[in-house]
Amino acid sequence: MNLSIRQIQEVLGAQLIGKEDSLLISDISIDSRSLHHEKTTLFFALVGDNHNAHDYIPGLVDKGVVSFVVSQLPTVKDSNVNYLLVKNTKKALQDLAQYYRAQFDFPVIGVTGSNGKTIVKEWLSYLLSPDFSIVKNPKSYNSQVGVPLSLFLIKESHTLGIFEAGISKKNEMINLANMIAPTVGVFTTIGSAHDNGFDSQREKIREKAKLFTDCTSIVYKSTPLVEEVFSEQLFTENNKKRFSWSFDNKNTTVFVEECITKKTKSEIHLVYQGHQFSFWIPFVDKASIENAMTCFTTLVSLGMAVETILDRMPHIFPVQMRLQIKPAINNCILIDDSYNSDLQSLIIALDFLEQQRKTKRKTVILSDINESGLNDDTLYQTIYDLLQKNKVDRVIVVGKKISHSLSKHSHIQRFDSTQELIDTIKDIGFSSECILVKGSRSFHFEKIVEALEFQKHETVLEVNLDAIGSNLSFYKSKLKPETKVMVMIKAFGYGNGGYELAKLLMHHRVDYLGVAFADEGITLKKEGITTPIMVMNPEIGSYNSIIQYQLEPEIYNFRGLNYFVELAENLGLSRYPIHIKIDTGMHRLGFEIADVPQLIEMLKEKSVVRVKSVLSHLFSSDDLAQEIYTLKQIKDFDEIKKDFEMIYFDEKPIFHLANTTGIINYPQSHFDMVRLGIGLYGIGNTVEEVQSLENVSTLKSVISQIKYIKNGESVGYNRAFVASHNMKTGTVPIGYADGISRILSKKGGKVLVNGVDVPIIGNICMDMLMIDLTGVTCEEGDAVVLFGEEKSVKSIAKQLDTIPYEVLTQISHRVKRVFYRD
């Protein structure tokens, strides 16, 4: 950036507390956990409903950061630190981004819509890259915070900007529009995403259209509602050019006459300026065809020759919008970012590498970076400095440019081509490493991923780590700032994966993790999890191991307490943390309420243990018809709390009662800490939860084989299904050994194939199930979704007359978990 503290103070209208106002700032940060902090970093201490980054300023000062934008001054101010005091740090971040963007005068494309924003942005960047030096949002950085961070990437060498803008409610777009200041507007499609933030589709279109207020041209798919809103809001004067396209309106700029879908590609025939043209794309789904037409029409609006467009369109590619975590050979972990390589996304990936690594050893495999806007020497020296700052242990580079530029560093392994690296992978000796694979698309690094991946699986459970973070934030927003949070990750994280979720939750600084048995906690401790872990159902035989691995047991009866105290005395322990469970009506585990006085007297005499917390469990918080019993539990627990508080403890115990639904339905049950379980994984009981929570888990497989059977022929064991007409069937490699209940065979179970709900037929087998594909356009290898965003776990649980917990936790360990971030 090369803006001085004094200049930034003037832009923000901030009060400067500090001496070094001439210091030049080169980087902006909002994440205290990033490793990319130094003296020239300006940190914005953002404040949210559930976090306050001001708390992390002392730690950042220790890392060498000396400049902060704050809305509150620390109690003890460091005399060597610059504090820029403002009313609202997020608004200050946006104001600085708006000022910085205004320093550059080149065309900027602003992209918005309900769906397809990131794909259209990435495809436009690829299609225009031969003609421009392009700056764009990394990945999906399209929010109130992501957009300003993206704008700070602009450099003098850039000649075109492409920025997407995403909103979820009214009055958000004006901030993004002021910052991006687009000259060309691109509207993708309108769909149901974030519908709950708007009163109607019309209102949502009107809000998104605010991005285009000062654009000179606007590109969009023509629909009656979009035409009506745009005409009212944007085209009232003749100062904007409209470039529209449609499948059914011949009066648009581009009219699609026909789209012929073949096995792996679509041939699009269109009319533009009275002439017929055609091109093909390597996609068959409707969304990709629509995104391709949006790109075609945008290129037309920019004046690109049609012949050039037709030549480039067949080369558009799948956009990988997520960082995926996969098990790899020799006890390694693989972070797959194999289709995306630019400087800013490298910084994001390196931070993700640091957050997710299980081992002490970090490895990065990196290709040449194309169209960076920097000369090679500057670019690759910057990359080398990033790798050094992130303490990457092993660096492997592929490509002649990066190999040449980093040739003086003898410890870096260099290869001219991807195939050359693949041919020597076995000799490199990967072992117990966290490997980030990041390459430009032309290098086909997916081949490296295939060579390193531990085992290929057609059936996977995809786990969205960003959705976990979002759901955690939702529940935190219901709590007082001082209320602690324990997250339950028992039963392999409700089937979603234990370590990976624990690592993420440690990253989010939750106060406690809860597991059912000691071996779950031991595994996490061995993997380096430092967050306190409570064992909710410890067996007496596991007490030694609990102490060895510094886990904290729940004690629920006098037998367990006496045994643990005796063991602690024999080991010479002092004040070992334990958690006391009281039974307030669940009648499962816990001391009886009548035993509390005796329990307290006993605890007063035992210095080898200390009561870290006192807890009970709500048994009907999700059923408001049982409110009278829940309120009695809360009242009884409050009395128990008073009894414990009357005796002296060196450290006041934490009192906790509320489970997931208790957080929502009974705020008076929050006490000092809440225990968050199934809601974290996107499954809620209340209307507010259903509207606010994001889907976390998607269970997917593929069609292994398609068959055509005749009337009277049967499918599966025991002729459980007999065709009443000629049919098309599919076999899917997932069965009851993977956790799919055989009851679905009899209960009308269905799966999704290319967006179509198709029935399961015949008896579900151990490793396979069969489906009716009659009338469905599909091929072998197409995806099959058993549950996810469009087909909820709750709906399957209802079919099975059970609860979502059982559906999730039944998914066996042989189903590969793939963790990703959007």
By annotation, the residues acting in catalysis are 490, 717
| Chain center to CA of 336 | 14
Calpha distance 546→540 (Å, rounded): 10
Separation between Cα atoms, residue 756 and residue 751, nearest integer Å: 8
Q: Is 814 helix (H, G, I), strand (E, B) or coil?
A: coil
| DSSP-based helix, strand, coil % in the chain, nearest 5 | 35, 25, 40
Sequence-distant (6+) residues with CB within 8 A of 547 are 567, 568, 571, 573, 576
- CA 637/CA 652 separation, integer angstroms: 16
Question: For residue 637, how many C-alpha atoms fall within 13 Å in the half-sphere facing its CB?
Answer: 30
Q: Using alpha carbons only, give the angle 431, 434, 439 rounded to the nearest 5 degrees.
A: 110
Number of helices (H) and strands (E), helices first, in the chain?
Answer: 29, 42
Q: Which residues are within 8 A (CB) of 760 and not within 5 positions of it... i.e. 6 or more apart?
A: 744, 745, 749, 750, 751, 769, 770, 771
Distance CA 48, CA 109 (A): 30
Question: Tokens 């002021």 map to which residue?
Answer: 178
Please report where in the chains the tokens 């777009």 appear, as a residue. Answer: 173
Classify burial at 76, counting beta carbons within 10 Å of its beta carbon; exposed 0-12, middle 13-18, buried 19 or more: exposed
3-state secondary structure of 675: strand
Residue 730: closest CA among 768, 684, 785, 675: 768
Tokens 């009899």 locate to 746
Looking at the DSSP bridge assignments, the partners of residue 395 are 364
Contacts of 350 (CB under 8 A, 6+ apart): 35, 36, 364, 386, 387, 390, 392, 436
Q: Which among 400, 381, 414 has a CA at the least distance from the CA of 442?
A: 400
Which residue reads 């060895």 in tokens?
Answer: 548
Q: What is the DSSP letter of 14?
A: P
Greatest extent of the chain over all pairs of C-alpha atoms, in Å: 93
- Under DSSP, is residue 569 helix (H, G, I), strand (E, B) or coil? helix
Count Cβ atoms below 10 Å from residue 597 Cβ, excluding itself: 10
Q: Would you give the end-to-end CA distance of the chain in angstroms? A: 27
Q: Facing residues of 435 across strands?
A: 334, 363
* Phi, psi of 195, deg, nearest 5: -55, -35
Strands of 40-172 (E only): list them.
41-44, 67-70, 82-85, 108-112, 134-136, 160-164
**DSSP H or E stretch at residue 613:** strand 609-615
Distance CA 568, CA 424 (A): 54
- Looking only at the bridges linking them, the beta strands covering 673-676 and 609-615 are unpaired
Query: Six-digit token pair at 639?
Result: 């009395």
